[in-house]
Structure 1
Amino acid sequence: MRNLCATVSYEGTEFNGFQSQPYGRTVQQEIEKAIQVLTGEDILILGSGRTDAGVHAQGQVFNFLTESTIPAERWAIALNTRLPKDIVILEVHEVSLSFHSRRSAKRKTYRYTIDMGKFPNVFERRYAFHHPMRLQVEAMQEGLKHLIGEHDFTSFTSIHSTKPHHIRIVYDAYFEKQGSMLHMYITGNGFLYNMVRVIMGTLLQVGQGKRQPADMKRILEGRSRALAGPTAMSHGLMLMNVEYPAEA
C-alpha cells in the first residue's frame, strides 16, 4: 500500500464545494472518479480541508492510499487526461503512510479579491467580488491587524460550525493592490467554516465607513456571530497554498 500526496487547482464556479455531497457536483467526487477509471480502485481521497461552493483553489492538497504501481511522477498527467477542464492536478509525490493532508498541515493561505473598478472586469468576474464604491483601504488594513495572533474566532465563523472549539492562529494578514484589484491575504494554522468570508464581509463595512477599525477587536472579543458583518460572496475566495513540515 502506498500513500500519495497531490496538489490540485480548480475553478470552483461549477462545484458545490470540494468535499463530496449528496447533491451537486464536487471536486472530490470528480477526482475519485478519475482514479477509479485509471486504476480500477474505489478510493476515498482526504483533502487538507473543505472549500465552499464557488470557492477556488490554486494549491489544495489531498492524499490517498493506493495499491497501484504507477510511478508518482506519472500520476498528474494520467489523472489530468481523465479530469474535467476545471480541475488540474499540479504535482503528485509519495509520502509516508502516517501523512494526513489535513492533520499534517501547518499553515494555509487564502486570498480574497475585490474588484474596485467602476465597471466589473469581465475576465475576472468569476474570481473577484465587484465593489465599485470607494473603500478606505487603510482603515481595512488597520482593522485586519487586530486579528493577527491566537484568538477565539467564534464571531467570524458560521453559526453552523461543528468544530469543538474556535481557537485559531492567524500568522499574517494584509491587503495588496494590483490595478483595480484589492487582494486580502491571510495565513493561519487553520480556518473555520466561512471564517475568511465573514472577516472580509466585516472589513468591507469598515472600508465603507460603517464601522471603525477598532470594532474588529471588539467583535473578536465578543465571541458572537451576530456582532460581525455579512458573509462575503464565495467567488472572491481562493485557497492559495497549504504548507507542511519539511519531513512530510
Structure 2
Amino acid sequence: MCPRSPRCSLEDGSTYSKSDSPTQRYEAQIGHQQRYKCEVAYDGTYFSGWQVQRNAKHRTVAGTLESTLCTYFSLDPANFYVLGSSRTDSGVHARGQVCHFTLPNPCKPEVALPEINKFLPQDLRILNMEPVSMDFHAIASSTAKLYCYRMSISDVPQSPFKRLYRSQVQRGVDLGVLEEAVKAFEGTHDFRAFAGQVEQKQKASGKPVSTVRTVHSVKIIPSPEGDVEIMFLLEGALYKMVRNMVGTSVACARGEIGIETLKGMLERGLQRKENRAKPAKPEGLTLEKVWFNEGWVDLL
C-alpha cells in the first residue's frame, strides 16, 4: 500500500494520486504489458453481484476472479483488477459476461485457462481467454448487450428446479399488455425512472449522470406452459434498468399501472421514486452476450 502522500510512486517511475479510482491506479501500474479478454459464465445465486464490495454478505464474481488470478499468476491483489462489461446485480446470472485484465508478463491462454478453471468454484467459469490490444476495454469497447428475463406467469406452482433461474409472477398477467409494455422501451429514451442510485452517484461524483440509453429491440417469447422470456438487445444498461423495465411492464400487465403512464415516464424523464413499480426479482435475469462489433445488427 502507498503512504499517505499526495502522489504515490510505482516501480516504473509513474505516479498516481490517492484520489484516483482503483481503475486509474491499476492502469498506471501495469504500463504496457499484455491485456486479456475473457468470456465468463456464472450462476449468480450465491454471488453478491459482479462488483467487488466491502462487507459483502457473499462472494462477488469479480472478487473471486481477482483472488484466483492473483494466486495463479503470483500477483499483488492490491494492484490487480478485473473489469467487467456489465456490473450484474446480486443473484443475476451470466452466460456471456466479458471482462478484461492486464498481466505484467504474457502467458499462453491455452495452458493457463484449464488450470485457472480448476481453482474457480463450480458456479463460475472462464469460457475463453484471448490476448487483445491495450486499448480494449470491456465497457467502453462494447457495442451491444443481450439480456434475457425469464419468468412464469402461470398460477401453477413453479418447479423447484426452475426457482433459481426464473421468477414467478402470479395473479392475472395479461400477455398482450405485457408485450405492449416492453415494446415501449424500444428506441432512445431517458431511463431515469428505471435506474437505481442515480442521485447517489451524482452526489458522490459531483457531476450529472446521463440516464439516456438506447434499447435496440425487445422480443417476448411465451410458451404454452406459461413461461415467458423477454429478450432485451440494448446499447448499455443503467443500474437495475432491465429489472425495473420488467417490473414496470408486469405492473402494467396486471392493471396496476397504465401503458400511457409508463410511456410518460420515458418521455418526461421522471425520477425512480416517481415509478412505484418494484424491480423484477434478480433470479430471472441473465446476461446472455456482449458484442464488440456490429454482429448484433443481424438480430434486429
**Structure-1-length-normalised TM-score:** 0.93
Name the SS for the 2:263 alignment partner: helix
- Tell me the distance in 2 between the aligned counterparts of 1:108 and 1:75: 27
**Alpha-carbon contact 1:119-1:132 (below 8 Å) kept:** no
CA radius of gyration, larger in: 2
The residue type paired with residue 146 of structure 1 is: A
The residue type paired with residue 21 of structure 1 is: Q
- Tell me the distance in 2 between the aligned counterparts of 1:62 and 1:230: 30
Query: For residues 186-230 of structure 1, what are the alpha-carbon distances to aligned partners after superposition, in whole Å with 9 as ceiling and x for unaligned?
Result: 111110011111111111111112233333211212322234211
Q: Following TM superposition, by how much is the alpha carbon of 1:23 offset from its aligned partner in structure 2, in angstroms?
A: 1.6
Are 1:196 and 2:233 counterparts? no
**Alpha-carbon contact 1:75-1:92 (below 8 Å) kept:** no
Which of the pair has the greater relative contact order for Cα pairs under 8 Å at 6+ separation? Answer: 1
Query: For residues 1-51 of structure 1, what are the alpha-carbon distances to aligned partners after superposition, in whole Å with 9 as ceiling and x for unaligned?
Result: 211000001111111110100122101111111111211013211111211
Q: Following TM superposition, by how much is the alpha carbon of 1:138 offset from its aligned partner in structure 2, in angstroms?
A: 1.3
Deviates more, 1:132-141 or 1:85-94: 132-141
Task: Give the structure 1 partner of residue 23 of structure 2.
Answer: none
**Alpha-carbon contact 2:192-2:198 (below 8 Å) kept:** no
**Alpha-carbon contact 1:120-1:130 (below 8 Å) kept:** yes
Q: Which of 41, 44, 51 does residue 9 from structure 1 map onto?
A: 41
- Tell me the distance in 2 between the aligned counterparts of 1:91 and 1:134: 43
Q: Which of 163, 178, 183 does residue 145 from structure 1 map onto?
A: 183
The residue type paired with residue 236 of structure 2 is: G
- Tell me the distance in 1 between the aligned counterparts of 2:197 and 2:140: 24
Are 1:226 and 2:273 counterparts? yes
Are 1:168 and 2:213 counterparts? yes
The residue type paired with residue 237 of structure 1 is: L
Query: For residues 72-121 of structure 1, what are the alpha-carbon distances to aligned partners after superposition, in whole Å with 9 as ceiling and x for unaligned?
Result: 23333121101011101111111111101011011011111112231012
Gaps of 5+ in 2: 1-32, 203-208, 295-300
The residue type paired with residue 54 of structure 1 is: G
- Tell me the distance in 1 between the aligned counterparts of 2:288 and 2:103: 27
For the aligned residue pairs, the C-alpha RMSD in angstroms reads 1.8
- Tell me the distance in 2 between the aligned counterparts of 1:106 and 1:14: 29
Q: Which of 253, 278, 284 does residue 236 from structure 1 map onto?
A: 284
- Which structure 2 residues correspond to residues 125-140 of structure 1 after superposition, within 5 A? 125-140=163-178
Q: Following TM superposition, by how much is the alpha carbon of 1:159 offset from its aligned partner in structure 2, in angstroms?
A: 4.1
**Alpha-carbon contact 2:148-2:229 (below 8 Å) kept:** yes
- Tell me the distance in 2 between the aligned counterparts of 1:72 and 1:159: 38
Q: Which has the higher helix share?
A: 2
Query: For residues 122-173 of structure 1, what are the alpha-carbon distances to aligned partners after superposition, in whole Å with 9 as ceiling and x for unaligned?
Result: 1110111112333111111112222111111111112446272101000011
Task: Give the structure 2 partner of residue 77 of structure 1.
Answer: 114
- Tell me the distance in 2 between the aligned counterparts of 1:130 and 1:50: 24
Name the SS for the 1:50 alignment partner: coil
Q: Which of 246, 253, 261 does residue 207 from structure 1 map onto?
A: 253
- Tell me the distance in 2 between the aligned counterparts of 1:83 and 1:217: 44
Aligned length: 247
- Tell me the distance in 2 between the aligned counterparts of 1:127 and 1:66: 34
**Alpha-carbon contact 1:139-1:212 (below 8 Å) kept:** no
Task: Give the structure 2 partner of residue 108 of structure 1.
Answer: 145
- Tell me the distance in 2 between the aligned counterparts of 1:221 and 1:2: 45
